[in-house]
Chain A
Amino acid sequence: MTKVADMQFGLGLRHQHYQEIADQPGQVDWFEALSENYMVAGGRPLVWLDRIRRDYPMVLHGVSLSIGASDPLDLDYLAQLKALAARVEPRVVSDHLCFTGHAGINLHDLLPLPYTEEALAHVATRVARVQDFLGRRILLENVSSYVRYAESQLSEWEFLAALSERADCDILLDVNNIYVSAFNHEFDPRAYIAAIPPARVKQIHLAGHSHMGTHIIDTHDHPVIDDVWTLYAEALRRFGPVPTMIERDDDIPPYADLVAELERARRIAAATLMTPEKAA
């Protein structure tokens, strides 16, 4: 069990920050590398990945596993992921609870599944096959979504909780995504958090988004908003000192700004999780 004092805070590894990360060691506890960015034969991306990995723990986070697709699992992709994991030796390997393509066409988006018994059985079978292939448990992340299907029989949190037990996989809980989907689909984000089994949550994502008035889009191009920080504290109270990171994918700010934003996560975690005498 991770102690509060040992809780680790990370950032998404972005090429804009490679040099500063190398020049300013120790400001971040670990980095999350986007798996597909490093599924190349050689060159600068892998040079930097190896260089930064020498100094920091890493996790791998993918966007193309398409665990919920009805297409067969892409074994070439899985073989590349396994090879990358052997190179990086990540603490965890994660992807998203979604599908990303159909009939051989990649749509390059995290598309929501219908939360049905049929989909649950299908995804659970595939998770088991992926975990066998990779020789490790994976984490699946809840995605932001903009549509809900009439045919869904379960809530997203019921689906995710049931999947983690049935497939014996872990959860990467994206607190911003819960907030976004809660607004878009008019549910209580606290009910979502309360339904997730704490033992399964192995990583937390935080990010910013774009509010369109009638709906929120998960753009990862803004700082984390106050309401999401509040929800993060709620999540920490339930899940304990889970490794937490901030994702930024667009309008990438200076490295120092993200390090400062991550400090806020550290402060909130300290204030939320430490008893008064421990904090003193």
Chain B
Amino acid sequence: MNALVTLQAEFSAWMRGSADTLRARVLDTEKADRDTLLRVYRDAYALRLIEALTTDYPGLLAMAGPAEFDMMARAYIAAHPSRHPSVRWFGRDLADFLAVTPPFAGTPDAADMARFEWALGEAFDAADTEPLTFEQLAGAPPEAWATLRLSFVPALRRLSLSYQAPQAWQRRDTVPPGELDVSAEDGAVDWLIWRPAADGDAQFRSMAPDEAAALDAALGGAPFPEICAVLSAYADSAEAAAERAAGLLRAWLDAGVVDDAAWG
């Protein structure tokens, strides 16, 4: 199988622009030379992957404009060739790439936008579950609350962003391409992303610092009293912390982000 392996290695190198040894294997036709024909594949390779990024990152495109987006996409394609059979997952490393790679690292709002948009996509086609309802949880016996732990739906994502990427993302279609500005926050702001309905789009909202801390504790498997303890650092009294915990729990249940609860 050596000849087949070599040909395929050369084709991959041609597509990715690293070598042109494939030329020698390919025939000219009466109408077109081999370089013209081979370029069809190389051009389509880049365009297909750029299109995938365009679909996943409309906010980034609105920030960068088509020319800069194209340049950024080609740099990403070269650094992170696709390793998944579905092009759906090609863009998953873009935020990390933008955060550390010059010149993109010089505009950190881009990495924040990419992080936000990828999380929206992950929430969009995460697994479906039947979220726990307030009524179901209300049926738990009083002694359950001492050890009650929450689990969350697969579509839940939680981000900390230093730029107002979600607010800018909502304006992405209202400004000319390349002119979407993303303001800096004073400090990192925590965001909750989830999908309320199986066939719906992802939604998002910012969280106050105490909610983010409580959610982190809950995601880490802390029992309900521990969540109250976390909140007491933000509250005037233990009573106020317990009240806030109950309010947050109700909000999470109503949003449909709690998958289940267990105790004992």
Residue positions of A touching B, CB distance < 8 A: 36-37, 39-48, 64, 66, 68-70, 74, 77, 99-109, 111, 113-114, 116, 118-119, 122, 146-151, 184-186, 213-215, 217
A70-B1, A107-B82 given. 10 additional CB < 8 A pairs? A42-B127, A43-B125, A70-B8, A109-B44, A119-B4, A151-B3, A184-B29, A185-B29, A213-B31, A215-B40
A214 CA to B39 CA in the complex, in Å? 13
A37 CA to B9 CA in the complex, in Å? 27
> Please, which residues of chain A bring their CB within 8 A of the CB of B38?
146-147
The reply on B163 being an interface residue by CB < 8 A is no
Q: Closest B residue to A47 by CB, please name it.
A: B199
> Please, which residues of chain A bring their CB within 8 A of the CB of B158?
none
Cβ–Cβ contact B128 & A39, under 8 A: no
The reply on B100 being an interface residue by CB < 8 A is no
Q: Which 6 A-B pairs have the closest CB atoms?
A: A64-B85, A42-B128, A43-B125, A41-B127, A214-B32, A40-B125
Interface residues of B in 19-60 (CB under 8 A from A): 25-27, 29-32, 34, 36-38, 40-41, 44-45, 48-49
A44 CA to B81 CA in the complex, in Å? 28
A102 CA to B49 CA in the complex, in Å? 16
The contact sample of 25 A-B pairs, CB cut-off 8 A, is A36-B87, A41-B154, A42-B127, A43-B126, A43-B195, A48-B199, A99-B8, A102-B9, A103-B12, A107-B15, A107-B45, A107-B82, A114-B4, A114-B7, A114-B25, A122-B1, A122-B4, A147-B27, A186-B29, A213-B31, A214-B29, A214-B32, A215-B29, A215-B32, A215-B40
A99 CA to B85 CA in the complex, in Å? 12
> Please, which residues of chain B bring their CB within 8 A of the CB of A148?
26-27, 29
The reply on B124 being an interface residue by CB < 8 A is yes
A8 CA to B34 CA in the complex, in Å? 40
Cβ–Cβ contact B29 & A103, under 8 A: no
Cβ–Cβ contact A74 & B199, under 8 A: no
> Please, which residues of chain B bring their CB within 8 A of the CB of A217?
40, 44
> Please, which residues of chain A bring their CB within 8 A of the CB of B26?
147-150
In this complex, the member of B8, B27, B126, B155 whose beta carbon has the largest number of chain A beta carbons within 10 angstroms is: B8
Cβ–Cβ contact B9 & A103, under 8 A: yes
Cβ–Cβ contact B12 & A215, under 8 A: no
Shortest distance from the beta carbon of B114 to any chain A beta carbon, whole Å: 20
In this complex, the member of B1, B8, B85, B87 whose beta carbon has the largest number of chain A beta carbons within 10 angstroms is: B85
Cβ–Cβ contact A105 & B124, under 8 A: no
The reply on B67 being an interface residue by CB < 8 A is no
> Please, which residues of chain A bring their CB within 8 A of the CB of B124?
43-44
Shortest distance from the beta carbon of B76 to any chain A beta carbon, whole Å: 14
Number of A-B residue pairs with CB-CB distance less than 8 Å in the complex they form: 150
> Please, which residues of chain B bring their CB within 8 A of the CB of A147?
26-27, 34, 37-38, 41
Q: Closest A residue to B38 by CB, please name it.
A: A147
A148 CA to B27 CA in the complex, in Å? 6
The reply on B176 being an interface residue by CB < 8 A is no
Cβ–Cβ contact B199 & A44, under 8 A: yes
A118 CA to B52 CA in the complex, in Å? 35
Interface residues of B in 123-156 (CB under 8 A from A): 124-128, 154-155
Cβ–Cβ contact B11 & A74, under 8 A: no
Cβ–Cβ contact A74 & B44, under 8 A: no
Shortest distance from the beta carbon of B197 to any chain A beta carbon, whole Å: 9
A234 CA to B40 CA in the complex, in Å? 29
Cβ–Cβ contact A105 & B81, under 8 A: yes
Cβ–Cβ contact A215 & B37, under 8 A: yes
A150 CA to B34 CA in the complex, in Å? 11
Shortest distance from the beta carbon of B259 to any chain A beta carbon, whole Å: 13
> Please, which residues of chain B bring their CB within 8 A of the CB of A109?
15, 41, 44-45, 48
Shortest distance from the beta carbon of B13 to any chain A beta carbon, whole Å: 9
Q: Digitize B180-200: 1 where CB-to-A-CB distance is under 8 Å, 0 elsewhere.
A: 000000000000000100111
A64 CA to B86 CA in the complex, in Å? 7
A39 CA to B84 CA in the complex, in Å? 12
A41 CA to B154 CA in the complex, in Å? 9
> Please, which residues of chain A bring their CB within 8 A of the CB of B45?
107-109
> Please, which residues of chain B bring their CB within 8 A of the CB of A151?
3, 7, 25
The reply on B171 being an interface residue by CB < 8 A is no
Given the known inter-chain contacts A106-B85, A186-B30, A215-B31, please indicate yes or no for A45 contacting B125, CB distance below 8 A.
yes
A119 CA to B38 CA in the complex, in Å? 21
Shortest distance from the beta carbon of A150 to any chain B beta carbon, whole Å: 6
> Please, which residues of chain A bring their CB within 8 A of the CB of B49?
108
Which of B29, B30, B126 is the one whose CB lies under 8 Å from A41? B126
> Please, which residues of chain B bring their CB within 8 A of the CB of A103?
9, 12
Given the known inter-chain contacts A40-B88, A70-B8, A105-B81, please indicate yes or no for A150 contacting B25, CB distance below 8 A.
yes
Cβ–Cβ contact A149 & B7, under 8 A: yes
The reply on B5 being an interface residue by CB < 8 A is yes
> Please, which residues of chain A bring their CB within 8 A of the CB of B81?
105-106
> Please, which residues of chain B bring their CB within 8 A of the CB of A99?
8, 11
Cβ–Cβ contact B85 & A44, under 8 A: no
A214 CA to B3 CA in the complex, in Å? 29
